[in-house]
Amino acid sequence: MTVSKTAVLAVAAALLAEPALAQSNQGMLGMPGMNMGAQANQPITGKGVVRKVDPAKKTVNLNHEPIPAIKWPAMTMDFQVAPNIDLSKVQPGQQVEFGLEKGNGGNYTVTSITPAAK
């Protein structure tokens, strides 16, 4: 009993220690992009299909896939789009990847939208 419990604790301690070492040694040097993903201000990203575009109002209607980062199921909805985004290249039916940022009012604004890589 005591022996196996000690062994389990030793393994657990080793498992806890390993990732910390791996991160500090490789994270910054090998994968700076991956490291950025852990930051709090990183935009939330999603994928979906464009339904409607309104360049004048700066809105898009997207049928988006689930977005686990903010616990959203798949749905079709309107989004406000950041003023600097060029909606002239966004067309209904297009598969897109997009970035979201939470605005002051608590609504999510599209801060990037690009044709889905595929």
Q: Which residues bind Cu ion (CB under 5 A)?
A: 72, 75, 77
Report the nearest approach of Cu ion to the CB of residue 99 (Å).
14
Query: What are the beta bridge partners of residue 110?
Result: 81, 100
Residue in this structure with the two tokens 């990183």, named with its chain if needed: 42
Residue in this structure with the two tokens 């616990």, named with its chain if needed: 71
Report the nearest approach of Cu ion to the CB of residue 37 (Å).
21
Nearer to Cu ion, 36 or 74 (CB): 74
Nearer to Cu ion, 17 or 75 (CB): 75
Residues 6+ apart with CB under 8 A from 88: 55
Report the nearest approach of Cu ion to the CB of residue 58 (Å).
17
- Residue 76, SS3? strand
> What's the one-letter identity of residue 12?
A
Nearer to Cu ion, 7 or 75 (CB): 75
Nearer to Cu ion, 31 or 75 (CB): 75
Report the nearest approach of Cu ion to the CB of residue 102 (Å).
13
Nearest CA among 24, 66, 68, 48 for reference residue 110: 48
